């Protein structure tokens, strides 16, 4: 297929917002102004009244294969960075939802698009569900730490459609399934329980793992998430009682890419290869600086990573989407998203207008997979046209 020529056009959105505490270094937020930066990928000489809007809570997506492939096919794309782009250590999911709302409004009221389709890739999937649930029927007035942040008065505009692609249940649930349960002391990553230390050659349990071991492993992961949450809540309460101006603290979460799935392909099977994950060798990713949740603040932990406290759980928000057409695209060999996650979203979606497409052999990023990527783009275009979201 001939690629369409297109241009990258910067997007800058700014709005006044009073904050009690600056969350990211630099101008943004510190002077009473929040600034968002993104990019439009606009095909030349191909006007459209539909835009496909990508956003991830913690990173930028403008160089990834799917957005650029959509532009190559002649579709208009917006890649939107949150206020926490490439630094999620203080990220508050409720504020990211607000940021996404600014882009949706900008697309319609400033850029003139009539139809806005949210495309939630990876961590953007649960964000898109969270946003659409709050846009259809807003309920949130505070963050999980109890700080006021009112989405009921934010006038979030619902998107016209949602595409959930290579996406997981939520950041909190995914982290929990990747937390290394062998770690016994959060301040000492070398203090580990050998019986749960699957990356240690001396671990008694070896793949293929028994169902009893997997159950024990998963329970220990949940318990670790809850121990961290309890520590966070206790520290926030301590700071509140001190009342000396200190509001927040950062901390390190060690060993956050440990999953029996990576070593045993029979656990939640899909087409992924064993001994590998989307970050490479999982043994290295487990302690590498880029591991998810490696650096976090107290408030961010509760909003973003706590399995019991986050408002961004995909199943909860999918059940609150009642009107919007939703397309789920599952990459069958996804080496990041667990195979159990998309069926759970599919079952939870309350909208009657939902479709489910599986792309055989596709990995998380479609790396070296032009045929699978083309199948994905074709599914998006076909669905969008049938739902009157895109002119044929």
Q: Check residue 24 and give its pLDDT.
A: 83
d(CA 209, CA 216): 11
Asked if residue 327 lies in contact with residue 161, where contact means CB atoms within 8 angstroms, the answer is yes
Strands 115-121 and 50-56, by their bridges, are parallel
292 and 178 Cβ atoms separated by less than 8 Å: yes
Question: CA 66 to CA 385: how far, in whole Å?
Answer: 18
Q: What is the rounded CA–CA span in Å between residue 374 and residue 41?
A: 18
Q: What is the structure's pLDDT at 1?
A: 61
DSSP state at residue 195: G
How does pLDDT run along the chain (392 residues), one tens digit per residue? 678 999 999 999 999 988 888 888 876 677 889 999 999 999 999 999 999 999 999 999 999 999 999 999 999 999 999 999 999 999 999 999 999 999 999 999 999 999 999 999 999 999 999 999 999 999 999 999 999 999 999 999 999 999 999 999 999 999 999 999 999 999 999 999 999 999 999 999 999 999 999 999 999 999 999 999 999 999 999 999 999 999 999 999 999 999 999 999 999 999 999 999 999 999 999 999 999 999 999 999 999 999 999 999 999 999 999 999 999 999 999 999 999 999 999 999 999 999 999 999 999 999 999 999 999 999 999 999 999 999 86
Q: Are strands 250-252 and 295-297 parallel, antiparallel or unpaired?
A: antiparallel
Best CA proximity match to 318, nearest among 343, 337, 340: 343
C-alpha distances (whole Å) from 33 to each of 36, 334, 364 are 10, 39, 35
Residues 109, 56: Cα–Cα separation, whole Å: 22
Asked if omega into 231 is within 30° of 0 (cis), the reply is no
Q: For residue 118, what pLDDT is reported?
A: 98
Q: How many angstroms separate the first and last alpha carbons of the chain?
A: 17
Q: All domains of the chain, ordered by start, with CATH?
A: 6-170+312-386 (3.40.50.1820), 173-305 (no CATH)
pLDDT in the model for residue 25: 80
Torsional sign, CA 192, 197, 199, 201: positive
SS3 40: strand
Smallest Cα–Cα separation from 331: which of 124, 164, 129?
Answer: 164
Closest listed residue to residue 336, CA positions, set 380, 285, 266: 285
User: How far apart are alpha carbons 164 and 313 in whole angstroms?
Assistant: 14
Phi-psi region of 328 (alpha: psi -120 to 50; beta: other; left: phi over 0): beta
- What pLDDT shows up at residue 167? 96
Residue 342 · residue 328 · CB < 8 Å? yes
How would you classify residue 214: left for phi > 0, otherwise alpha for psi between -120 and 50, otherwise beta?
alpha
**Bridge partners of residue 41, in order along the sequence:** 8, 77
Q: How long a stretch of residues is the chain?
A: 392
Query: How many whole angstroms separate alpha carbon 296 and alpha carbon 179?
Result: 15
Q: Calculate helix-pair angle for 93-109, 123-136, nearest 10 degrees.
A: 70
Question: In whole angstroms, what separates CA 339 from the centre of its chain?
Answer: 16
Closest by alpha carbon to 379, among 48, 3, 117, 62?
117
pLDDT of res. 19: 83
Burial of 116 from C-beta contacts in 10 A (0-12 / 13-18 / 19+): buried
Question: Which of 331, 286, 310, 305 lies closest to 178, judged by CA?
Answer: 286
């Amino acid at each position: 297929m001939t690629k369409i020529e297109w241009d990258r056009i910067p997007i800058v959105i700014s709005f006044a917002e009073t904050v009690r505490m600056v969350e990211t270094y630099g101008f943004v937020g510190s002077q009473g102004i929040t600034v968002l930066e993104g990019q439009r990928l606009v095909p030349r000489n191909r006007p459209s009244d539909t835009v496909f809007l990508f956003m991830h809570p913690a990173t930028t997506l403008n160089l990834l294969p799917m957005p650029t492939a959509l532009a190559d096919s002649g579709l208009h794309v917006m890649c939107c960075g949150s206020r926490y782009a490439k630094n999620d250590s203080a990220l508050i999911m409720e504020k990211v939802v607000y940021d996404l709302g600014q882009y949706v409004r900008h697309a319609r009221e400033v850029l003139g698009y009539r139809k806005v389709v949210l495309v939630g890739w990876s961590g953007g999937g649960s964000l898109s569900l969270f946003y659409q649930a709050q846009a259809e029927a807003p309920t949130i007035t505070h963050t999980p730490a109890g700080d006021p942040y009112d989405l009921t008065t934010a006038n979030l505009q619902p998107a016209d459609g949602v595409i959930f692609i290579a996406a997981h249940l939520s950041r909190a649930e995914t982290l929990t399934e990747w937390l290394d349960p062998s770690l016994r002391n959060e301040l000492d990553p070398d203090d580990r329980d050998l019986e749960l230390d699957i990356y240690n050659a001396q671990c008694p349990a070896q793949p293929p793992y028994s169902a009893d071991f997997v159950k024990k492993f998963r329970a220990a992961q949940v318990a670790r998430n809850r121990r961290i949450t309890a520590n966070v809540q206790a520290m926030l309460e301590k700071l509140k009682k001190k009342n000396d101006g200190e509001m927040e603290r950062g901390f390190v979460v060690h060993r956050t890419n440990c999953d029996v799935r990576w070593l045993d392909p029979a656990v939640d099977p899909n087409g992924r290869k064993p001994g590998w994950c989307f970050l490479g060798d999982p043994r290295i990713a487990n302690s590498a600086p880029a591991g998810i949740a490696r650096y976090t603040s107290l408030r961010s932990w509760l909003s973003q990573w706590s399995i019991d406290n986050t408002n961004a759980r995909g199943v909860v928000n999918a059940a609150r989407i009642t009107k919007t057409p939703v397309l789920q695209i599952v990459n069958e060999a996804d080496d990041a998203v667990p195979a159990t996650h998309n069926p759970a979203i599919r079952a939870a979606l309350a909208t009657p207008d939902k479709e489910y497409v599986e792309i055989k052999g596709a990995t998380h990023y479609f790396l070296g997979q032009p045929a699978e990527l083309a199948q994905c783009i074709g599914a998006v275009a076909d669905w969008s046209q049938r739902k009157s979201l895109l002119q044929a």
